[in-house]
Structure 1
Amino acid sequence: MAKERICLLNEIGFVWVVETSGKWSDMFEELKKYKETHGHCLVTVKCPSQKHLALWVQKQRRQYREMKKGRSTQMTAERSDLLNGLGFVWKVYEDNWHEMLDDLRKYKERHGDYLVPQKYGPNRQLGRWVTNQRQAYKNMLKGGNQSSMAKERICLLNEIGF
């Protein structure tokens, strides 16, 4: 920027550095309260009263990914440590996959097999999830998209005898 423009902006009292950490800490405190009430940090935008917090949570995940890639971001190691201390979930989809795996283990304990009906009454998501895992595995064997069926997931499913 030209010195002339800098001088003009300085003359009108332009603020060059805006401190945002106060706002971040306010939102962090709000997330702590949310966790105390709900037992987790998975704030959803579906609840209108929590939309601003949900958007902030999404922003933290985006910034964390950027930080991990070595890009410039507002996320710091200190902030990620604070969020980790709350049990913050950085990869929601990954966390959900592991929850479904636990549900599948419980199903096997109750029923003795992994033949979960597509519309399994107590947990309709489980039937769809099992079908999706089988389909993703078949696609992977055919040389299709492997992103939804990582080797780690195959190992975890094999470990439980799926």
Structure 2
Amino acid sequence: INGHANVPQRFGSLGMWVLHQRTQYNLMKEGKDSPLTSNRCKKLESIGFTFKCRPTYLSWDQRFQELVDFKKIYGHTNVPTSSGQLGSWVNNQRTQYRLYKEGKHSLLTNDKREKLESIGFEFKCRPTITPWDQRFQ
């Protein structure tokens, strides 16, 4: 359905089953008893199953490219923070921008800021709150 066999643990029983396969694989590789046979490993590998699944570190430019790809699909750069690592990265760019605007130490260089601006990145996605007195008028 999703084009991969990398199921997160949070996906209920399927996620737990995938975790169990990886645990059994590690036991097998260590020469310990495991119900996972080489035949089962081959079957899992034939569908793209990855036994060693650690999140990889992506550079700023790689995350930026993910954001460009996200925008091509969804038409905007407002990635929800609940959308995994890209959402966290986008949130961090906004935090770094706020620090930059406040004159504090920020990891957001001018080059990075300009790249984000070039794709229409919104550094402030929350609407500005109009003071009560202005609304009253």
TM-score (norm 1): 0.44
Deviations 1:25-82 (A, max 9, x none): 0100000000000000010133xxx310000000000001111111111101111111
**Residue identity (%):** 29
Aligned with 2:121 (options 88, 96, 100): 88
* Structure 2 unaligned residues grouped into runs of 5+: 1-57
1:36 aligns with 2:72: yes
| Superposed displacement of residue 149, structure 1 | 2.5
Number of paired residues?
A: 79
When normalised by structure 2's length, the TM-score is: 0.51
Query: For residue 77 of structure 1, what is the aligned residue in structure 2?
Result: 110
Give the structure 2 partner of residue 149 of structure 1: 130
Q: Any unmatched runs of 5+ in structure 1?
A: 1-21, 98-147
Pairs within 5 Å for 1:2-151: 23-46=59-82, 50-94=83-127, 148-150=129-131
Q: Which amino acid aligns with 2:115?
A: L
Q: Paired residue for 1:4?
A: none
Higher helix share: 1
Q: Deviations over 1:108-142 (max 9, x none)?
A: xxxxxxxxxxxxxxxxxxxxxxxxxxxxxxxxxxx
